[in-house]
Structure 1
């Protein structure tokens, strides 16, 4: 089968091509080149491709194209496509991606995300309109089918994303219920998964189809190559993990958006409280919070409002036989349809840090797959203690086996090697170790309860307001402080504690912070009100002579800056000199009164 390497060669609708162009998709990915032509031929497909390879677009584009073609000859409104996903977050992302592809065809293609609302009174009227595409978890779909609010008589396409997780999340009985509502006619079924295991093949048994087309890209590794993804390991015991992490953050060894994974929610909140002690803001993606709040957190993280997102994949019990029993102080009701390490499309993630090493090799692959997506660079750092050495070996074996099974893969860009992170060995971490010990279980419990109360209060009081003021939604941040005890002196690292190899890096960063503090606009305003008269008097006393210009390169010297800051006349002189330069550069610039 020949692959089609351009979207405009796939005979797609012009409205769909325009939306693809707006999304900056220059050419289809490898998996899209293989799947879209087969899906347009209405074949049932079982697809294996790693995270970030464009699977959502691979099944969304042919479904939208089929609906647009059907609408030309058929005016009756009906549900023709059903998309299932194991988590609400993934449903929200799929719905958003499909709506962006329907940007110029929104009047012809209706998309409804069933998993985002539990309001029965609201769902009834919306489903009564028979939306063209319905997205939801098997639980939500089966509930509405049993209530006879959703009909699948005209169904033509059924897609199951992350198919290998459907049984892991306990949806087997819901899939059995769904099977009884499927039309007797032949429909197209597409199974998308990062791994084609026994669960995926058993899922195929729910659909009585004689022919399946299996699509795999054997030249792909589980993870990107070393040239795109750098994987590091740091040997650290439990008492050192917190100290190493905060030292790496304060010394700017970790830059950009970072996802930090732990193995439990309690560990996330302990880490958040620890970072707050040093003035580092972070946000927890908590399965106990409403799904709207979780999706809003992901959206704000993708827009750059937060740099550090703390998450866990404890709901993903895939391959875990004997999970460690710890942090059982709280037993709140968690969302069974929550998941973050699989499928969620985090944007521009620079680093993934495994604060707790994943319990299985597959979890490691899915966690690290959050970074180095498409053609972007990424870094994965894992803390490993002595009890987790066997899990590290399991990950290394899995990646090496994948390389060995792909003879066409470029062996010079292998993805299965780990490097020891060397920079932290110069750090004096003793200064930070005692802070983590002060974060007790009582503080963790109080922090969790406080955040839940804040979210409930925001949900009730602001729901109606945000309906009319959507732009103000950004003001509702999720990284608010959960602890009332912060130590201001911990925010900065004293220069005498910085290793010699990192002196240049931290000195420049701290100097810029001090400069911003010293020359902030409020101090300029106070100086203008306080010293304007003195500056004018000194000018007139000099007999009206022109001021001696100050060369701007002199301001680079820290001692010169300090001297000028103590001399208000020099401050006023510098301001006037800079204003004249602006006026000379732009004749339309008007500064103060004309002389």
Structure 2
């Protein structure tokens, strides 16, 4: 819990004290302690007493990562355990296969989020799994051709789960409504005691308002309701009147957090970069390769093709990533999310077409059209091949996301808020970077709407993540100071103290020109054919790995052989090894990564520093008792003595001169022959033919160093 920011936690409360105060079941207390929760968030510390002690309905408005899931799971489970503890005898009589035992219904917008909520419930019921059972329902069909058989199998599996008499159902509105219409949940009207609508604003944006209204007809009139949302709208207020009864409203305002923590830097740093559309790949390549964006990241695009184009582009530079889109089966999407969370790859490209692109271009369009337009959109999505219950921008738990990049700018402020909520969760720091196309007027208008919807930050707090604007960059003063009134000057000074979010990123695009040729050359390999074949290859891999189709392949081996052949014959763009690293000559000034100095291997000195000169034949010469008597006689050395005639040569004189050591003492030639021949040096050992002693003497090393000379001088 040390990594959490204090602004999300309640500094005056601990989980153990809070659980004791509200009287939470001891098994749930142990589970919370097992999960490592020490301090509750502000939402949890306010919601638990109201829900458990007072039994009130709750409308909670707080941003993602504030602990809303635990705030409603604990009261729901506590109520079930308390009820079962009081009437265990009647439990077997009331339970049947038509939903008579279901005590809580949790509605979520997407199938991925339903799986995540199920995991949270299972972790909280670690010590009472025999008493509380959880089931997950979803729509039996994801749309598209050939989905009828799959839908029948999914429906049969879910009906089998309902026969196990679960206490809690986690479902999408479409999935729950499907079973209600089929008659498998006839007795919900007499058994349900709690209803939770999680991410209510996203459920409405998915077009589930009519479904929720129809579900309410199958539920009892009196129950405890929970409405969780990150935003409040007029449509949400109408839903509140349908679900909740005299609710307690909890709001965790971003502005209050800003005022309370104005002296500290914001946990989420938001930036935008206005660039031409063709330069998006260059910016992404430089920011990733040069370490300007570090850690795990999410890249949001508006189309599936755009996601695969980005994936193929990053693969050319040996950057691993994965694409999460609605065309993949649910299990594959969950597996991709799990692989991302455990760190098998650091970059995830998410497409959220059903949430962002199909939503209205402007913020006000949702409220004008109402639920009819959204219902029509939902029906249109169901006829497509994509999963109508897919969604990734909100609710899912992506662990350790350090940054979010909006490669395609979202069309409205609501989509922007949903996307950037994937980072800086639980009080951790994060960076959100949005790429805005300079030639797109729609994106520039959407950027202005986003800046108006996001709370501003103090000018001194920008710069987290490496490069916010200076304090005076976004000042709005346009007139002369002399013409301003005192009131206008006061308002202008207040505005100048804050910066709109997201703020412009100070970055010189001219520094990227050195990378242009490399990036554009690689981008040419990412063609429509490559994208189409990559998507087809993923679908073939899903078919080959499908457990449901294994029996079909056993009966029809020719189909399996054709798929395997197509998989091997699929054209894959060649990845060049030299593109893995960035050459030093391409690095611009100010963006060079600090070079790591290699440590030199320390030379190991031998213990005996003195050289063994006796083994070097060039250091000494011993005549070995051999004389030149009898050899000199009759032997002439013509031309050896320069300028001397052959007749003047005297063997004895020549021998004496040859063996003369230059000391002036004559000595006999015989004594000189038995002497060792050394050159005149300071130590009397002679100069090495390899020049080692000369090198040491020139550089004052070894025995020629100053310390050695001082030692010899003292002696």
Bigger Cα Rg: 2
Aligned pair in 2 of structure 1 residues 463, 363: CA closer, same or farther (>3 Å)? farther
Shift of 1:346: 0.9
> Take 1:436 and 1:267, find their aligned partners in 2: how far apart are those partners?
13
Q: Secondary structure at the match of 2:545?
A: helix
Q: Tell me if structure 1 keeps the 8 A contact 2:326–2:386.
A: yes
Shift of 1:402: 10
Change (3 A) 1:322 1:378: closer
Match of 1:499 in 2: 588
CA–CA distance in structure 1, aligned partners of residues 406 and 295 of structure 2 = 16
Match of 2:622 in 1: none
Match of 1:168 among 176, 201, 205: 205
Q: Higher relative contact order at CA 8 Å, sep ≥6: structure 1 or structure 2? A: 1
Count of paired positions? 480
Q: Is the 8 A contact 2:452 2:500 kept in 1?
A: no
Equivalent-residue separation in structure 2 for 1:402 and 1:156 (angstroms)? 43
Contact (CA 8 Å) 2:404, 2:432: kept in 1 or not?
Answer: yes
1:6 alignment counterpart:
14
How far the C-alpha of 1:6 sits from its partner, in A, is 2.6
2:228 partner SS: strand
Q: Spell out, residue by residue over 1:508-537, the C-alpha distance to the aligned partner (whole angstroms, 9 max, x if none).
A: 49x89xxxxxxxxxxxxxxxxxxxxxxxxx
CA distance in 2, matches of 1:233, 1:106: 48
Checking the alignment, whether the CA contact within 8 Å between 1:116 and 1:292 is kept in structure 2 is no
Say if 1:273 and 1:483, in contact at 8 Å, map to a contact too. no
2:577 equivalent in structure 1? 488
Correspondence for 1:340: 392
Q: Identify the residue that residue 361 of structure 2 maps to in structure 1.
A: 321
Instruction: Say what the alpha-carbon RMSD is for the aligned residues.
Output: 3.1
Gap change, CA 1:463 and 1:342, over 3 Å in 2: farther
C-alpha distance in structure 2 between counterparts of 1:269 and 1:69, whole Å: 50
Q: CA deviation at 1:425?
A: 5.3
State the Cα distance separating 1:412 from its structure 2 match.
8.9
SS of 2:50 mapped into structure 1: helix
Helix, strand or coil for the counterpart of 1:191? strand
Q: Which residue of 57, 64, 83 corresponds with 1:44?
A: 57
CA 251–239 in structure 1, closer or farther in 2 if over 3 Å, else same = same
- 8 A contact 1:300–1:306 mirrored in 2: yes
Q: Give 1:194-593 correspondences, 5 Å limit.
A: 194-207=230-243, 210-218=245-253, 226-317=265-356, 320-321=360-361, 333-386=385-438, 387=440, 388-400=443-455, 416-422=501-507, 426-427=511-512, 428-430=514-516, 431-460=518-547, 483-505=572-594, 507-508=595-596
Aligned equivalents of 1:267 and 1:221: distance in 2?
38
**Change in 2 beyond 3 A, CA 1:177/1:69:** same
The alignment partner of 2:227 has SS state of: strand
Deviation readout 1:469-498 (Å, 9 max, x if unpaired):
xxxxxxxxxxx9993422222111111111
- Tell me by how many angstroms 1:341 deviates: 0.6
Shift of 1:176: 3.1
Maintained 8 Å contact 2:271/2:501: no
Segment of structure 1 superposing worse, 490-499 or 393-402 = 393-402
SS in 2 for 1:502: coil
Summarize deviations over 1:250-285 as a string: whole Å, max 9, x none.
222222111011111111011001111111110001
- Which of 67, 72, 96 aligns to 2:80? It is 67
Deviations 1:201-233 (A, max 9, x none): 1212434x5422221123557999843122222
Structure 1 residue aligned with 2:676: none
C-alpha contact 1:31 1:54 (8 A) present in aligned 2: yes
Q: Aligned residue for 2:225?
A: 189
State how 1:18-33 maps to structure 2 within 5 Å.
18-33=30-45
Shift of 1:371: 0.7
Q: Are 1:154 and 2:191 an aligned pair?
A: yes
Conservation of the 8 A alpha-carbon contact between 1:50 and 1:222: no
8 A Cα contact 1:89 1:295, kept in partner:
yes
- Unaligned stretches of 5+ residues in structure 2: 1-9, 96-100, 141-150, 364-382, 459-495, 552-567, 600-611, 613-715
Q: Secondary structure at the match of 2:72?
A: helix
Task: Give, in whole Å, the separation in 2 of the partners of 1:3 and 1:227.
Answer: 19
CA distances 1:351-409 after superposition (whole Å, capped 9, x unpaired): 11111111111111111111111121111111112112222221111114799xxxxxx
Aligned residues of 2:107 and 2:197 also touching (Cα < 8 A)? yes
Is contact 1:239–1:433 with CA below 8 Å preserved after alignment? no
Change (3 A) 1:461 1:158: closer
Question: Helix, strand or coil: the match of 2:425?
Answer: coil
1:178 aligns with 2:215: yes
Maintained 8 Å contact 1:227/1:413? no
* Change in CA separation of 1:141 and 1:230 when aligned onto 2, cut-off 3 Å: same
* C-alpha displacement of 1:4: 7.9
- Aligned residue for 1:316, secondary structure, equals helix
Q: 1:67 to 1:423 in 2, by over 3 A?
A: farther
Q: CA deviation at 1:287?
A: 0.7
**1:128 corresponds to:** 163
Cα 1:235–1:413 change in 2 (3 A) is closer
The alignment partner of 1:53 has SS state of coil
CA-to-aligned-CA distance 1:132-154 (integer Å, 9 cap, x gap): 11000010001111222224121
* Counterpart-to-counterpart distance in 2, 1:138 and 1:499: 53
TM-score, scaled to structure 2: 0.63
Q: Which runs of 5+ in 1 are unaligned?
A: 324-330, 404-410, 465-479, 513-541, 543-595
